[in-house]
Amino acid sequence: MPLALDPAAQDLLFREARTANAFTDEPVPEDLIEAVYDLVKYGPTSMNQQPLRIVLVRSVEARTRLVPHLSEGNRKKTAGAPLVAILAADNEFHEELPSQFPHLPGARNLFAERAIREESARLNALLQVGYFIIGVRAAGLAAGPMTGFDAGGVEKEFFADGDHSVLVVVNIGKPGENAWFARSPRLAYDQVVSTV
Amino acid sequence: MPLALDPAAQDLLFREARTANAFTDEPVPEDLIEAVYDLVKYGPTSMNQQPLRIVLVRSVEARTRLVPHLSEGNRKKTAGAPLVAILAADNEFHEELPSQFPHLPGARNLFAERAIREESARLNALLQVGYFIIGVRAAGLAAGPMTGFDAGGVEKEFFADGDHSVLVVVNIGKPGENAWFARSPRLAYDQVVSTV
């Protein structure tokens, strides 16, 4: 059964898009990341929480601080990417709710407990990480998302306030030579979806 | 700066797509959900873990078992949606790694500890929830994702094996009358993204 989304867009975002492990030197302009954000910011979050925060690692100095916290197999990929984004959840997102969810004036107070808002921040920021990866592909770029790193170490280096949880680090750029492995299989519909 | 994705697709997936709270009676065919899955299954997960599992709630009997576990404000929306999907993480996803990530034969053993694989299942399944919401929109349908429910109650009703964590419940269909509130604001680029 055909989808409403045209097949070329399906290919760009999902079918032909691949996780890149090697990149060309072509720089990724800040304006393009801003265009990605201005699209994916519309992805839904619970009560419009929008807890995702993004640190773009551009300077050589910042790259040098990041790489040692990655697992060994990821260091070379990140060292060679033109742009690296650290994606984190802001555990103080509730401070924005009075402006971001104005039709429920008491929304901020539902998250008075830190443990409750940490859980909600993680859940909703991870949905936003999914939207962001799609957005990078929408820009015609390849994303190389990674979860192999010492989150505590990255938090200490890049979020000194203690109020952020680092979730995923994404290498971003144009795919280089031998950028990916052969496509791995996917679970069949019947292995994933059941009807009751 | 323009994205590679054409503007109509941007509108369909993000800019004009809205979280629906009311739906028409028009049924959602199983084939269409299969087409959604066959697209979004290509979204990336760490080591191709693919922990997302989906239960489509179609029968009146199953709907009756689900609704009482939702927070009060969500019950009417779900009762009136033509299709409801329970999205969960499979905490035993590692059993599929020998077939799904064949180029690292020891991958399964990295997840021998339940706590480690629960954390990884949650993280990666939430990325897949993000892809699934985009996929529902790609089908020309509206999604109404909800996190307000008693997860333990839903797990007991729908995942008796004790091996799944329910993450998000999504109402799916064509938007009905007064399907949504006015669009809430979004955080500005400078509030979310910084460069180092």
Q: Specify if B67 maps to a domain.
A: yes
Pick from B138, B123, B122, B130: nearest CA to B38: B138
The pLDDT of residue B39 is 98
When CB atoms are compared, the residue of A129, A138, A193 closest to B33 is A193
Residues of B in contact with A189 (CB under 8 A): 34, 37-38
Instruction: Give the pair of three-digit tokens for residue A150.
Output: 């010492």
> Number of Cβ pairs closer than 8 Å across A and B?
241
Mean pLDDT of chain A: 97
List pLDDT tens digits, range A41-77: 999 999 999 999 999 999 999 999 999 999 999 999 9
Interatomic CA distance for residues A176 and B184, integer angstroms: 40
The pLDDT of residue B22 is 96
Residues of A in contact with B9 (CB under 8 A): 5-6, 9, 138
| Closest alpha carbon within chain B to A61 | B196
Report the run of H or E that residue B37 belongs to, with start and end.
Answer: helix B30-40
Q: Specify if B195 maps to a domain.
A: no
Q: Specify if A185 maps to a domain.
A: no
| Closest alpha carbon within chain A to B34 | A189
Q: Specify if B187 maps to a domain.
A: no
User: Mean pLDDT throughout A7-29?
Assistant: 97
Q: Do B62 and A140 touch (CB under 8 A)?
A: no
Interatomic CA distance for residues A174 and A116, integer angstroms: 39
Per residue of chain B (196 residues), what is the pLDDT tens digit? 899 999 999 999 999 999 999 999 999 999 999 999 999 999 999 999 999 999 999 999 999 999 999 999 999 999 999 999 999 999 999 999 999 999 899 999 999 999 999 999 999 999 999 999 999 999 999 999 999 999 999 999 999 999 999 999 999 999 999 999 899 999 999 999 999 9
Q: Specify if B186 maps to a domain.
A: no
Q: 10 Å Cβ neighbour count for B108?
A: 17
The pLDDT of residue A1 is 87
When CB atoms are compared, the residue of B12, B102, B127 closest to A130 is B127
Q: 């419009």: which residue's tokens?
A: A48
| ipTM associated with this complex | 0.98
State pTM to two decimals.
0.98
Q: Specify if A2 maps to a domain.
A: no
d(CA B77, nearest CA chain A) in Å: 15
**Count of structural domains, chain B:** 1
Q: What is the DSSP secondary-structure string of B98-125?
A: HHHSTTSTTGGGGG-SHHHHHHHHHHHH
Q: Specify if B189 maps to a domain.
A: no
Q: Could you tell me the residue range of the domain that residue B78 belongs to?
A: 18-176
What CATH number is attached to the domain comprising B89?
Answer: 3.40.109.10
Pick from B49, B19, B60: nearest CA to B173: B19
The pLDDT of residue B1 is 87
CB A70 within 8 Å of CB A148: yes
Q: Is the CA virtual torsion A62, A29, A16, A80 positive or negative?
A: negative
| Closest alpha carbon within chain A to B48 | A184
Q: Specify if B65 maps to a domain.
A: yes
The pLDDT of residue A54 is 98
CB A168 within 8 Å of CB A151: no
d(CA B15, nearest CA chain A) in Å: 6
Interatomic CA distance for residues B158 and B167, integer angstroms: 13
The pLDDT of residue B181 is 87
